[in-house]
Amino acid sequence: MTEPAQPPSARREELLGLAYAHVLRHGLSGMSLRPLAEAIGSSPRVLIYLFGSKDGLVRALLGRARADELAVLPDVGHGPVAVGRIWDWLSAPEHRALLTLWVESYARSLVEPDGPWAGFAEATVRDWLAVLGGATGSLAVLRGALLDLLATGDVERTTAAVRAHVRTLTAAADDREADGSRP
């Protein structure tokens, strides 16, 4: 069920930005409106007015996170080049907070399919498959490497795994080209 929220306003956007910065630092698990409102200089009543409910605020925060994630997509290219560029973006230290929030939201969407996270995991799979031309194997490699990177901080090992996958994709594309066949 979607709660009605107020139309976009400067104050709503300002509070969304502040709340987003807060959840990037602290995550969504256990988020409570009162401490969040205090941390961002607002009140629970104002947040409910602007977002309809706590679930409405969570949906707005997830929308913001998804928009940040999708902002990289137009510039990555196609094929093996795209996989490498996506990994470069995923493995950049400045994206860790966003990607940790993504993992939390992805998991919550699986275990709470009727909550404010409903459909988040499925939508992100569709988004990334569209960018990767339906290459499920590449999506699996990227997602697995990302999870390992976030869990261990081991950039060297995870990057080596993704680069090996890119080399395999490139070799397969070169072989198809040499044979005159199409993918």
Q: Is residue 1 part of a domain?
A: no
Q: 134 with 150, same domain?
A: yes
The total domain count for the chain is 2
Q: 97 with 172, same domain?
A: yes
Give the pLDDT mean for 14-29. Answer: 90
Q: How far apart are CA 26 and CA 15, in angstroms?
A: 16
What are the tens digits of pLDDT across the range 43-64?
999 999 999 999 999 999 988 9
Whether 7 shows a pLDDT value over 90: the answer reads no
Q: What are phi and psi of 30, to 5 degrees?
A: 70, 10
Q: 45 with 78, same domain?
A: no
Give the pLDDT mean for 110-128. Answer: 89
Whether 86 shows a pLDDT value over 70: the answer reads yes
Whether 6 shows a pLDDT value over 80: the answer reads no
Q: What integer pLDDT is reported at residue 180 of this predicted model?
A: 67
Q: 157 with 138, same domain?
A: yes
| Average pLDDT across the chain, whole number | 87
Q: What is the CATH number for 37?
A: 1.10.10
Q: Report pTM.
A: 0.78
Which residues span the domain enclosing 34?
10-64
Give the pLDDT mean for 18-23. Answer: 93
Q: What integer pLDDT is reported at residue 127 of this predicted model?
A: 86
Task: From 121, 131, 146, 141, select the one nearest 73 (Cα to Cα).
Answer: 131
Q: 76 with 59, same domain?
A: no
Q: 167 with 82, same domain?
A: yes
Contacts of 150 (CB under 8 A, 6+ apart): 96, 99, 100, 103
